[in-house]
Amino acid sequence: MKPMSRRLFSMLALTLAGVIFFAINIAADTTLTTERLDLTEKGIFTLSKGTLETITSLKEPITLKFFYSKKIAAGYAQTAAYAARVRDLLEDYAALSHGKIILEEIDPEPFTAAEDQATAYGLSGAPTDSGDMVYLGLVGTNTIDGKQVIPFFSQDREPYLEYDITSLIYRLATPKKPVLGIISSLPLETGAGGMAIALQGHAEPFTAYKELTDSYRTKMLDMDFTSIPKDVDVLMIVQPKDLDPAQRYAIDQFVLGGGRALVFVDPLSEVAARSAGGNPQTQGSNSSDLPRLLHDWGVAYDPDKVILDRKLAQRVQVSLDPRDPITIYPAWLHLTQAQFDARDQVTSSLQTLNLASVGAISKAKGASTHFAPLVTSSNEASLIDAEAVQMSPRPQDLLGSVHPTGKPYVVAARISGPARTAFPDGPPAGDNVTAKQIKTTKAINVIVMADTDIFDDRFWVRTQNLYGKRIATPFADNGAFILNAVENLSGSNALISLRTRASNDRPFTVVQQLQAQAQAQFQQEADSLQAKLSDTESRLHALEQGGSTNGEPSTGTALSPAQQTEIAKFRADVASTRTQLREVQRDLRKEVDALGTFLEVVNIALVPLLVAAFALILAILRRRRRARAVPL
């Protein structure tokens, strides 16, 4: 082939390759719009099963209006990138819905009707340096004038982006919300501050309660209720206090009549104590129980016992000393997937729960119901009197009170199957209910948890005010457990798989276990040395100020030889004790530091050595291959 012909052939081949490349891109863009390759460990960029079920079950069209100030946000790279992520996700929803989701993108430029529309919908704008507002929100509407709004897509909630959008669609697709009846002595509507904060105008409902009101029609029953409203689908009982027999009878008949119940009791409710002003002498008022009812549902529960767990203890700050500021608090538990029932819909997708001063429940003797644990402690746990925790001892003291039994304790369980009434002799005296009493049933459906601090925001969520709107970002799945349980009991599981998939708790479990074991082993010695040091320093101070030693009075003007000798001895004791205390504190961290050093060696030295070894082997293999290819 002549040089000119070869050059022309090459140009034609390159042109044809370019045409094929662009044709493939165009075809892929039009036919593979919903295809993604998600290489993340938990598939956080892949739409979950719950989302797909929600989309495919749509019966009526839903319109999603995506408000994004594209022109104004063009100068803010981070906002523009996140907006593109939101848009791509919304386009996936629309593509998978086969026309049931209508997506509209609107650019609310300043001083336009579109901006007025965004404001009227309740969207929040982020101010810019120029004074203009950047809108990045979503408005969903259905065919019966229903409306749901995400005021602003905060990047802090990016892990929950899919859940926020899917739950918006779900609420539009199911306009008739189930009714959730609530019996509670906790100030769910005003938050931990209670009525005192509410009167000051600073009340904020607990985040979990706020999410319940978004998803359900909630009915807060008065504390003097005498019956459960007939339209209640699920009854949630939180920290029940002073319920009279007639009220317990109403709950009994509701459950036996097919009603589903979610019950939270607590041997020591810290959120109740905070709401009441935190009086440590009122332990009895901070515990709760459902006498007779729990037992006849097949649940054994001691309202005076709290679980201490050495393995699951949360880390808390107890000192301003930078050398030893953190310790573990066995009354506050950080539970992970190993403590959840992976087969139950309520707990199968949970990642973490942060609980405080929890109780233990078990199957009652002779119970006819089925008792299925949902949440348990570790096997390094034991029980302690709630009063001992209530009086606020040091975490180190509580740690010494843990005497592991070798078996886990149940914190939450599902109760199902046949049950009998807690009132076999008929309604309590004075009850004016005329309906015929239900004495037995073949199937109750109840979930019981021995903790109410699960509602306390400080244990699981961070809240901030973003452009006039309250934004909540969870760091644990407390709220997810509550909503999952209510949703499951109400007969719908569509959103359960989404609530917790964003959680990415990756604790250093080996390090935490080493720290707990070391602290349990050396803490008593450290406390003894610290007490000795304090006593010696106080006696030394007394001598230097003109005190007495061995019963010998001081003259007040000059120290006697015996006193001077005693002072020298005390100073030597102080120095020696401090040295021993430093050694014990060093022992507390020795194994953790050794593990850290090992990991540093692996990361700094071993990995490069492995890469170098691989490169050397590859070079040797190539040289041998070339040697075999050389003709003789």
Residues 381-413: tens digit of each pLDDT:
999 999 999 886 678 778 888 899 999 999 999
Q: CA–CA distance from 518 to each of 310, 381, 412 (Å)?
A: 11, 16, 30
Flag whether pLDDT at 518 surpasses 60.
no
- Token reading at 42: 């938990």
Q: Is 259 exposed, middle or buried (0-12, 13-18, 19+ CB in 10 A)?
A: buried
Name 102's Cβ contacts closer than 8 Å, sequence gap at least 6. 61, 62, 63, 64, 94
- 217-220 and 179-184 as β-strands: parallel, antiparallel, unpaired? parallel
- Can you tell me the distance from the alpha carbon of 378 to that of 231, in angstroms, rounded to the nearest whole number? 40
Judge contact between 427 and 433, C-beta under 8 A.
yes
Judge contact between 359 and 450, C-beta under 8 A.
yes
| 75-122 pLDDT per residue, tens | 899 999 999 999 999 999 999 999 999 999 999 999 999 999 999 999
| 425-436 pLDDT per residue, tens | 989 887 676 688
- Token reading at 224: 């003097």
Radius of gyration of the chain (CA): 33
The mean predicted confidence, pLDDT, of the chain is 82
- 305-309 and 381-385 as β-strands: parallel, antiparallel, unpaired? antiparallel
pLDDT band, residue 61 (cuts 50/70/90): very high
- Can you tell me the distance from the alpha carbon of 476 to that of 505, in angstroms, rounded to the nearest whole number? 8
| 3-state SS assignment for residue 139 | strand
First to last CA, the chain: 33
- Can you tell me the distance from the alpha carbon of 142 to that of 520, in angstroms, rounded to the nearest whole number? 59
- Can you tell me the distance from the alpha carbon of 525 to that of 522, in angstroms, rounded to the nearest whole number? 5
- Token reading at 499: 């609530």
Tell me the mean pLDDT in the region 188-202.
Answer: 69
What's the confidence (pLDDT) of residue 587?
Answer: 62
Q: What is the DSSP string of 527-586?
A: HHHHHHHHHHHHHHHHHHTT--BTTBPP-SSS--HHHHHHHHHHHHHHHHHHHHHHHHHH
What's the confidence (pLDDT) of residue 465?
Answer: 78
Counting Cα atoms < 13 Å in the Cβ hemisphere of 75 gives 7
What's the confidence (pLDDT) of residue 283?
Answer: 47
Burial string for 497-512 (b: 16+ CB within 10 Å, else e) reads bbbbbbbeeeeeeeeb
Q: CA–CA distance from 586 to each of 197, 519, 523, 526, 581 (Å)?
A: 45, 11, 12, 11, 8
Tell me the mean pLDDT in the region 415-422.
Answer: 94
Flag whether pLDDT at 548 surpasses 60.
no
* Phi/psi at 560 (5° precision): -75, 160
| 229-288 pLDDT per residue, tens | 999 999 999 999 989 999 999 999 999 999 999 999 999 999 998 887 655 444 457 899
User: Could you tell me which residues are beta bridge partners of residue 441?
Assistant: 419
Handedness of CA 393, 395, 400, 403 (dihedral sign): positive
Flag whether pLDDT at 551 surpasses 70.
no
- Residues 330, 336, 341, CA angle at the centre, nearest 5°? 115
Flag whether pLDDT at 132 surpasses 50.
yes
| 3-state SS assignment for residue 80 | helix
pLDDT band, residue 461 (cuts 50/70/90): very high
What's the confidence (pLDDT) of residue 555?
Answer: 47
- Can you tell me the distance from the alpha carbon of 276 to that of 282, in angstroms, rounded to the nearest whole number? 10
Handedness of CA 152, 155, 158, 160 (dihedral sign): negative
